[in-house]
Amino acid sequence: MRATKIANSPPPMVRALGMLALSVLFGACTGLQPASVAPPNLHVLDATPAGVMATEKRDLVLEVSATRAWPGLDTPQMAYLKRPHEVNYYANNRWADAPARMVSPLLARALEQTGAFRAIVQPPTVAPPDLRLVSELIMLQQNFAAVPSRVELALRVQLLDVRGKRVLATRTFEATETAGSDDAYGGVVAANAALQRVLGEVTAFCIAEAGTLRAAGVFAPQN
């Protein structure tokens, strides 16, 4: 009779060591996977200025160009300062879009609400404008060097006579607003309050400059 050879199973100690090695290897691989990161809090600029109503409507089309941004502000990151000349950004809080991209539609809406112009348009548009408002965001930051912290905003604007191909007026509007709390959300609320004031001042500026054109006989009021 031929003997049948039966394979011996590993001893219990060997099996236990093998299982331990596999568990250690699996744990090491799991540890190498990136940790889940919570999405940042998103904030918006949605200020609405106090009503600035014109006494008369001018037969003018005003184009509001896209707001440009100075270096450091052309990003959705939220800037803050702890000491002069050193910009920092919040890690877990961001603007929903670059601030300058949120400012230009707010300017257009604010000017439209005044009723001072025949139309307010934004490029691209088929309506040839009479005037063009060019703007540049030169400062938007939460300053922690002050106690309590405050938001500092500055917007430079130019009103252009498109027909005459000339600059009518240039002005920089600045606003400072104390933050209600020394955190990102306190800065967001203060930024909207500062922007609300600036929007009102810019609309009043545009209406006044358009009025000087009418006084000079360049453009006539709409009947």
Domains in the chain: boundaries: 41-215
Determine the Cα–Cα distance for residues 30 and 28; give it in Å rounded to an integer. 5
Dihedral of alpha carbons 209, 140, 136, 86, sign:
positive
Q: Which helix or strand (DSSP H or E) is residue 221 part of?
A: none
Determine the Cα–Cα distance for residues 28 and 131; give it in Å rounded to an integer. 66
CA dist list (Å): 191 to 59, 81, 83, 95, 106: 34, 14, 19, 11, 14
Determine the Cα–Cα distance for residues 162 and 165; give it in Å rounded to an integer. 5
User: 41 pairs with which residues across the strands?
Assistant: 93
pLDDT value, residue 8 = 57
pLDDT value, residue 223 = 46
Give the phi and the psi of residue 152 in degrees, each rounded to 5.
-115, 125
Q: Identify which of 145, 135, 134, 140 has the alpha carbon closest to the alpha carbon of residue 72.
A: 140
Per-residue pLDDT of the chain (223 residues; tens, 9 = 90+): 454 444 455 566 656 555 655 555 555 454 555 566 789 999 999 998 876 677 788 899 999 999 999 999 999 999 999 999 999 999 999 999 999 999 999 999 999 999 999 999 999 988 899 999 999 999 999 999 999 999 999 999 999 999 889 999 999 999 999 999 999 999 999 999 999 999 999 999 999 999 887 655 555 444 4
CA dist list (Å): 91 to 37, 42, 88, 191: 11, 11, 9, 18
pLDDT value, residue 49 = 81
CATH number of 41-215: 3.40.50.10610
Determine the Cα–Cα distance for residues 23 and 153; give it in Å rounded to an integer. 57
Q: What is the DSSP string of 134-191?
A: EEEEEEEEEETTSSS-EEEEEEEEEEEETTTTEEEEEEEEEEEEE-SSSSHHHHHHHH
Query: Helices 184-215 and 99-114 sit at what angle, rounded to 10 degrees?
Result: 40
